[in-house]
Chain A
């Protein structure tokens, strides 16, 4: 069970971080054309 919790927690926190960084950098790229 704890393995599932670990996967979920890491997925949510680190996944959100990776998603947000990617979105921030790709939107800057778009703005700069």
Chain B
């Protein structure tokens, strides 16, 4: 193996690392997806299964990723190369690129949130009061759903540039500093919103719905699969981003306790968001379940905006809600861009150059999603399902290297929380993966009877297994072709001492 060159950056404190990995985990999935899934699954039973999934899916995967970053001090591609051998470099690069592809369209959401924050701040809710509730649907449609969505693209460019400036300032001066503000603000804003929302007449009906457990839910496989999927997409376990931030961790960082902290920190944010959105919808909407089923965009940019317009103090509620969404989305985008940058920095690029290249890539690839919502929907499906596969790569890589060895050498010696059985749950991950991933793949087939293998045009076949497989394979083929060149350049680990 080639010589590993040293030199780099580190978080200033453990809180800096925890705030950053929490920032990566807490995203829009907590605020707009969790309440919808909870409502769709009928309340309390979903919450219990969610906690089971935290222990069996999220914590072992977060540990696996974290140990790869801490042990090798290199990002995804470099770590797979160092731990498994040169010929596996492409696999680590594929894991990293899936996350970068996801980030490229996810920034579009950050742009949408910025637009709505500015809309509400400039009196949009008053316009809705006089213009009627159809106005919110029309504004959303004109802004984001009618291609080419030029205004949405401009907000997207702004969102990419803000994130790039933070990343370019480095780990301590940019990423850590931003997350230390963004993450506490998400919790504080959601707590303030709860205090207002629970005082609305009828809000307790929402809380009752949320926390009533129907025992029949435990025997419903659909609820189990949805809870596991929500844990996978909300915590970000197995996406490769925890891995990247552990490249900058202290030598004696406690992986197990930090994984536990993030899993429950993410669930806390999701629960707080649920306690804002569900009671608000039950208190203010004539048909709460219709609102909850209106999709992420429909719920946030149409229905909640409408509800804020017709509530006393709605201006403040709206501003705070979109601020929480902004903080959550920005902290996640930062992680996605940093993942791309760290992989390039492992190949010898400076931080500034790496940031410029990744920002350019985001602008190039993400523009397609920003301008055309059909492409956005396709990218969301293709890379969202691929992330589950990235988790499998980490689980298999940990097993190939040695689950016991990783525990004894790297996790246990620095851990205040010695729960070996929890870590060893990684061995069961392939079974869980087969159930969850297989369910998504099967569902996608049933949505397109007789056409599930088609992929073009992407807007028409946005969710087909055909479009997923074609895009995954194209990415894999490119990276396999580049395997040798990448392995040769991946010699720049982030080692401080």
Point out residues on A near B: beta carbons under 8 Å: 1-3, 5-6, 9-10, 12-14, 16-17, 20-21, 23-25, 27-28, 31
Cβ of B259 to closest chain A Cβ, rounded Å: 9
Q: Which chain B residues lie closer than 8 Å to A14 at the CB level?
A: 264, 268, 271
CA distance A23 to B15 in the complex (A): 11
**Does chain A have a CB within 8 A of B175?**
no
Point out residues on B near A: beta carbons under 8 Å: 13-15, 18, 44, 47, 51, 207-208, 210-213, 252, 254, 257-258, 260-261, 264-265, 267-268, 271, 416-417
Apart from A20-B261, A21-B261, A27-B254, what 6 extra A-B contacts exist at CB < 8 Å? A6-B210, A13-B268, A16-B264, A17-B261, A20-B265, A28-B14
CA distance A1 to B211 in the complex (A): 9
Q: Which of B207, B252, B257, B417 contacts A6, CB < 8 Å?
A: B207
CA distance A24 to B17 in the complex (A): 11
Q: Which of A1, A3, A6, A21 contacts B18, CB < 8 Å?
A: A21
Q: Which chain B residues lie closer than 8 Å to A3 at the CB level?
A: 211
Q: Which chain B residues lie closer than 8 Å to A21 at the CB level?
A: 18, 261, 265
Name the residue on A nearest B252 (C-beta).
A31
Whether B207 pairs with A17 at a CB distance below 8 angstroms is no
21 CB-based A-B contacts, threshold 8 Å: A2-B44, A2-B208, A2-B211, A5-B213, A6-B207, A9-B271, A13-B51, A13-B267, A14-B268, A16-B264, A20-B260, A23-B257, A24-B15, A24-B18, A24-B254, A24-B257, A24-B258, A24-B261, A27-B254, A28-B13, A31-B252
Asked, given contacts A2-B212, A31-B252, whether A13 binds B18 with beta carbons under 8 Å apart, the answer is no
Whether A5 pairs with B260 at a CB distance below 8 angstroms is no
Name the residue on B nearest A17 (C-beta).
B264
CA distance A23 to B261 in the complex (A): 10
Q: Which of B51, B207, B212, B417 contacts A12, CB < 8 Å?
A: B51
CA distance A20 to B260 in the complex (A): 7
Q: Which of A1, A9, A23 contacts B47, CB < 8 Å?
A: A9
Q: Which chain B residues lie closer than 8 Å to A31 at the CB level?
A: 252
Q: Which chain B residues lie closer than 8 Å to A9 at the CB level?
A: 47, 211, 271
Whether B212 pairs with A5 at a CB distance below 8 angstroms is yes
CA distance A21 to B262 in the complex (A): 9
Whether A17 pairs with B51 at a CB distance below 8 angstroms is no
Whether B212 pairs with A17 at a CB distance below 8 angstroms is no
Whether B212 pairs with A1 at a CB distance below 8 angstroms is yes
Whether A13 pairs with B271 at a CB distance below 8 angstroms is yes
CA distance A2 to B209 in the complex (A): 8
Q: Which chain B residues lie closer than 8 Å to A24 at the CB level?
A: 14-15, 18, 254, 257-258, 261, 416
Name the residue on B nearest A32 (C-beta).
B13
Name the residue on A nearest B261 (C-beta).
A20
CA distance A9 to B270 in the complex (A): 12
CA distance A28 to B416 in the complex (A): 11
CA distance A13 to B15 in the complex (A): 20
CA distance A33 to B116 in the complex (A): 47
- From B44, B264, B271, residue with most partner A Cβ within 10 Å: B264
Whether A27 pairs with B260 at a CB distance below 8 angstroms is no
Name the residue on B nearest A7 (C-beta).
B211
Cβ of A31 to closest chain B Cβ, rounded Å: 7
CA distance A19 to B364 in the complex (A): 43
- From A5, A10, A12, A14, residue with most partner B Cβ within 10 Å: A5
Whether B15 pairs with A16 at a CB distance below 8 angstroms is no
CA distance A16 to B13 in the complex (A): 21
Q: Which chain A residues lie closer than 8 Å to B212 at the CB level?
A: 1-2, 5
CA distance A2 to B60 in the complex (A): 31
Q: Which chain A residues lie closer than 8 Å to B14 at the CB level?
A: 24-25, 28
